[in-house]
Structure 1
């Protein structure tokens, strides 16, 4: 192999390895200072670092077979991701969808068409504009009998569509204007706190701190069953999800890219999530299609860890085939 090509591949491998080690920065730099913020931004791209490592090792192995021994390091991103929620060995009892509908979108038709073929009990909407909310209302909210709508002409707008009552609705705002909408649902006679959330993108240190603090505080806030869902602006390798994980708020959704939606999310990152407390477990996870937004929606199935006494109302839609 040509010396220059070998040098370039060695540099690519070194950079890829450095990238795959970035999630460990939470141990190296546990504070929320500027360095931790910068490292966290680069930590999001783990699948691409794995691709770069695998490619460079494979090509280097053509002339130096010892590089094959380094190839298994490609699995590192799956080991450093924040821990997923427990997988339930029981049928799905609740289906939650998260959809960032984009502040510039006006027509919910694509979202509602997908929900007709892939039903849900709860739909959390972020970047909900008044125009989009008006079109939803004209379509009878897609058949959902309950809704909490706080639309805005700016990205903080939030909404929840539900097939069951939403009790004790409360809207909260942080110092940066990001909203989270809290309510309560009942599943088989047991109460669950449901929080729709959309922190600011962490493109500045103060926004990075606010995002991590919000998820940490939500995870710490109660010992009751809890679902946190929305555009979290955080990947499974983000310090924000590690902050939530330390207090047992774990993701049901996976690492598949959801933003940007171009190219079916092939070159994106996964930032739209459903998180649950230990009383709940996951049954399935699914990424949705293009709904006209710059995000792809996600759909997750939930179940209790142990079976409560069932009521007749509130059955879950079926999981995907």
Structure 2
């Protein structure tokens, strides 16, 4: 083989390997990090297949493994992306209103949420305030907020009398603002002593109680945490709680995990919650500055009690994340209860092991 052919062979084998390595149930960051860039890996696999077909003409054993591998990688990526295309059945159906009605004003079961990881070092707070004033959400959850952000966001407090404010200097601070009254609320540190999450029971204008969870666990990365176990455990714990609730549930935040990962899909099956992006699009929120390194990192999951009014990725506000705006209507349909994700195979055992391992701390 020529040097060019050897180069394409090694390239194809590398792309194939990192396309599937995340299937190993190893929680170290250097494996889990490959959960994220599957859109990019699909493009790299397509380049590898094109390069092989154009430059290489040797299909003898074992050389044919290169085009076979990148073709399998592309098909696998397509399987991962398929749920987030308009051709897939939607998990959360759209709320319809009669013509001429004013849905938000007239419907006491309506709810509008804005959530954003604002990036602690970001100095463009006025842009965040402008988005809040433009869209007037009922709930605002902002992540990576410290004391500086808390002070600069004080103008929100006049319109949001109910608040949970936990500014931190470790990039895991949370600020939660609500126009809806709290019936119960709790600031928690479920897995790690310096990583907060929130649990709030809110009263909709119709009087129904909404169970809200806000989360922002640590990602597996060389600069954050060497393994994914603590992140996965927090999602499992929240998922278990969500499953036990009989009323409407909403879970939101920067999960530091992508929509198609094994952990996120496990969370859905444990929690029974639905993803409004399914059947609509990826709504990739990170990285806001680099379109070629972008994936869906910020999530909102809802129970079957809700129908979707709006789902939008808002303009960038100086952070490395785009904000998300979600409009819901509490409109339960008993038939939709049949669509609740259920645990499969050894899901419950895997969830138990994840939580136990996080508590052992090794």
Q: Normalised by the size of structure 1, how large is the TM-score?
A: 0.78
Mapped to 2, the partners of 1:4 and 1:281 lie a distance apart of 57
The gaps in structure 1 that reach 5 residues or longer are: 309-321
- Of 319, 324, 328, 1:293 maps to 319
Match of 2:235 in 1: 215
Structure 1 window deviating more from structure 2 (298-307 vs 57-66): it is: 57-66
Q: Is the 8 A contact 1:23 1:237 kept in 2?
A: no
Mapped to 1, the partners of 2:180 and 2:142 lie a distance apart of 16
Match of 1:48 in 2: 40
Q: 1:205 to 1:160 in 2, by over 3 A?
A: closer
Q: Is the 8 A contact 2:19 2:34 kept in 1?
A: no
What is the RMSD computed on CA atoms of the aligned residues?
A: 3.3
Q: 1:143 to 1:59 in 2, by over 3 A?
A: farther
Length, aligned pairs only: 298
Mapped to 2, the partners of 1:160 and 1:82 lie a distance apart of 33
- Of 175, 180, 186, 1:164 maps to 180
Pairwise mapping of residues 87-126 of structure 1 onto structure 2 (< 5 A)? 87-91=92-96, 93-126=110-143
Q: Is the 8 A contact 2:184 2:202 kept in 1?
A: no
SS of alignment partner, residue 262 of structure 1: coil
Deviations 1:94-122 (A, max 9, x none): 33222112222355211122233444322
Pairwise mapping of residues 120-139 of structure 1 onto structure 2 (< 5 A)? 120-137=137-154, 139=155
Structure 1 window deviating more from structure 2 (254-263 vs 195-204): it is: 254-263
The gaps in structure 2 that reach 5 residues or longer are: 60-66, 85-89, 97-102, 104-109, 335-362
Report the CA distance between 1:213 and its aligned residue: 0.8
In the alignment, is residue 268 of structure 1 matched against residue 294 of structure 2?
Answer: yes
SS of alignment partner, residue 230 of structure 1: strand
Deviations 1:70-99 (A, max 9, x none): 768635335236977713132483332221
SS of alignment partner, residue 153 of structure 2: helix
Report the CA distance between 1:46 and its aligned residue: 0.6
Structure 1 window deviating more from structure 2 (229-238 vs 275-284): it is: 275-284
Q: Is the 8 A contact 2:139 2:178 kept in 1?
A: yes
Report the CA distance between 1:68 and its aligned residue: 11
Q: Is the 8 A contact 2:27 2:229 kept in 1?
A: no
Q: Is the 8 A contact 1:16 1:50 kept in 2?
A: no
Q: Is the 8 A contact 2:185 2:200 kept in 1?
A: yes
Structure 1 window deviating more from structure 2 (221-230 vs 113-122): it is: 113-122
Q: Normalised by the size of structure 2, how large is the TM-score?
A: 0.70
Match of 2:13 in 1: 14
Match of 1:58 in 2: 50
Mapped to 2, the partners of 1:41 and 1:211 lie a distance apart of 13
Q: Is the 8 A contact 1:211 1:240 kept in 2?
A: no
Mapped to 2, the partners of 1:283 and 1:54 lie a distance apart of 37
Mapped to 2, the partners of 1:307 and 1:120 lie a distance apart of 25
